[in-house]
Amino acid sequence: MASITLKLNNKNYTIEADPKMPLLWAIRDLAGLTGTKYGCGIAQCGACTVHLEGVPVRSCSIPVSSAANKNITTIEGLSTDNSTAVQRAWILEQVPQCGYCQSGQIMAASALLKRNPNPTDKDIDAAMQGHICRCGTYPRIRKAIKTAAQLMTQK
Amino acid sequence: MNARKKLKVEWQPITASKEVINGFRGKTEVIIPAELESTTVQMEKMAEYAKKPAQQLRKDGDPEAAFAKAAQILERTYTAPFLAHNCMEPMNYFAHVTDEKALLIGPHQALGWIEPTLSKILNLPPDKIEIQMSRMGGGFGLRAYGHFITEAALISRRMKAPIKLVYSREDDMTYGIYRPMYTATYRAALDANKNLIAFHVKGGGIPEHPIHANRFPAGAVDHYLAEGWAIPSNITIGAFRAPRSNFNAAAEQSFLDELAELMGKDPIDFRLELLQRAKENPVGKNNEYDADRYAGVLKLVREKSGWNNMEHKKYSRGVAAYFCHNSYAAHVVDVVKKEGQPYVERVFSAIDCGVVINPDAAANMVQGAVVDGIGNAFFGGLIHKEGVSEQNNFNRYRMIRHKEAPKKIDVHFVQNDIDPTGLGEPPFPPVFAAVANALYKNTGKRFYHQPFIKEWNEKTDKT
Ligand code: FES
Ligand code: FES
């Protein structure tokens, strides 16, 4: 056990954890932010995606110790009022079905649009291929990413 | 999860037993054999059982005589593997059980089914068991079962504490209640003028057969025979998005496509002719479907997809339709070859599920079913070796992903005033056959064995 400080969504959380504990479980069980989901535990499904210093990572597959004192953004930290372009586009296109994969999809899409504000279909394929949606919302996710790109040019 | 990984579970083979199961079809005695099952052995067994006499499920006219005098007979066999549900949210439940009462909270599809089991296992009257539902991260049939709730409840009782049980993905996938493994052989008899005179389906599976004997084309053919057989198994099976229909539609609608071609007919026209017959002069009793509504979705998808329109000729098009859960669905899928692999780029869907209350959510549901169908048709399948499944997580169980999903799925609903019927299931089964029929257009080869990507790789390597 070690005392670790996590900087989650611009707030400091001091937790007691095994340094090898996957960041996902520290976020969910110790910090109590349950928007980030568990789907596979082996970096195959993308449900657990968070931003670590702005880069999307699979929180199930990195130890909590390596995220200490770094800026982490979870789905809860995107905005307090669903106002980012990606969140608005997701609502406009009514993307989710069960919703379980969607925090991961939204975190991946947000990171994609930050580095590439006008992604092609190929760019979307590449950025989103690691994110499984069992309900099959892929066509709507593609559409919502394009809608978000448009919303971003409008502000 | 780390603690779960440290648990070394030693499994012991079971001994053969019999169990009376109280299910949809009443009380049935189920034989549970002891052997450690393997897919290769199961395949051999299915081929062997398919030749044995089977249980007659429906018979119209004199199919034996009609086949005996046929000028031409088309016979084809189809197979499909066990499928895991793989809900994105692995099975989980909260439980707080004491000697006096139980509180259970979590995601579930059908709590009414579970309560009697819980009452028995926990030895508590139903009014001492409080169950609260939370949102589900996918169900697909698996969340209608209670194994994870009873497990959570028993752990809580033993621990004398409130607990939350979360299955690891590995436990979720290997401790599943799978879609059974199925096969079916279809036969059609034609007279010298290429008229369809008799139809025979004999379907089997592990551990149940897939046949819905009173569905189309029953009612449309004078001489008709449906038979079923089953091989006992100790692999747990259960409902999976449109039980049995999900295989039936795949096999039957591929067979009808091949049959239409043999008869020199357009596949939609051929189905419409059969439906016309079923409407005007139905054969036999208990035909489950409404011929007009069935024809309605075929006509709508023909129109919306521009079925015979030459402007779509860059695509290999496949069509299929099905009736289940009181609704009607038809799809046209457009396949292209992309990086050497088949890709369903566009889909047109026509659905009759009565009044649609929330059109956008309904369209989303249909689109999801189409993606699910394409994914399972191409990639789905659980392989067993000596009683253990080879796949236990998404690195080995291939799921459909973003770039394999269609760019566009156009959904059209038949407008009518009929009370709403099923929509989660009905669009799913016909996708498999529409894909198979499009693959035929693309390769000149028929696809009979799911998952199709395996067949594709075998068939296209040689060409
Ligand atoms: S839970 Fe982390 S990638 Fe699946
Ligand atoms: S919305 Fe259900 S898994 Fe994606």
Q: What angle do CA A59, A60, A63 make, to 5 degrees?
A: 75
The ipTM estimated for the assembled molecules is 0.97
Among A11, A44, A77, the domain boundary falls at: A77
The rounded distance, in Å, linking the Cα atoms of B250 and B436 is: 8
* Whether the predicted pLDDT of B309 surpasses 80: yes
One-letter amino acid at A128 equals M
* Residues A6 and A73 occupy one common structural domain: yes
Name the domain boundary from A35, A59, A77: A77
Do A73 and A89 belong together in one domain? Answer: no
Q: Which residues of B150-170 are buried (b: 16+ CB within 10 A; e: fewer)?
A: bbbbebbbeeeeebebbbbbb
Using the structure block, give the residue that is written with the tokens 């059969």: B274
Q: Are residues A32 and A92 in the same domain?
A: no
Same domain, A72 and A95: no
CATH of the domain at A16: 3.10.20.30
Atom of ligand 1 nearest to the CA of A40: 4
- Residue in chain A nearest B171 by alpha carbon: A40
Quote the DSSP letter at residue B263: T
| A92 and A34 assigned to the same domain | no
Print the domain residue range for A127. Answer: 85-154
pLDDT of residue A155: 63
Region of B284 (left: φ > 0; alpha: ψ -120 to 50; beta: rest) is left
DSSP secondary structure string, A77-121? GS-SSS-SHHHHHHHHTT--SS-TTHHHHHHHHHHHHHH-SS--H
Note whether A6 and A37 are same-domain residues: yes
B55 close to B227: Cβ distance less than 8 angstroms: yes
Tell me which of B415 and B27 has the higher pLDDT. B415
Residues of B with CB under 8 A from a CB of A: 1-2, 86-90, 135-140, 166, 168-169, 360-361, 364-365, 367-372, 375, 393-395, 399-403, 405-409
Same domain as A127, residue A64: no
B181-462: CATH topology is: Aldehyde Oxidoreductase; domain 4 (3.30.365)
pLDDT tens digits, A6-28: 999 999 999 999 999 999 999 99
Torsion angle of the four alpha carbons B444, B82, B211, B249, in this order, in degrees rounded to the nearest 10: -40
Q: Say if residue A11 is in the same domain as residue A64.
A: yes
Q: What is the CATH number of domain B92-174?
A: 3.30.365.10
- Residue B86 backbone zone (phi > 0: left; psi -120 to 50: alpha; other: beta): left
Residue count (chain A): 155
Quick one: pLDDT at residue B21? 80
CATH number of the domain at A125, please: 1.10.150.120
Domain boundary among A23, A56, A77: A77
Indicate the residue type of B434: A
Q: Where are the domains of chain B?
A: 92-174, 181-462
Higher pLDDT, A28 or B5: A28
- Mean pLDDT of chain B, nearest integer: 96
Whether the predicted pLDDT of B462 surpasses 80: no
For B134, nearest residue in chain A (alpha carbons): A98
Q: How far apart are CA B426 and CA B66, in angstroms?
A: 33
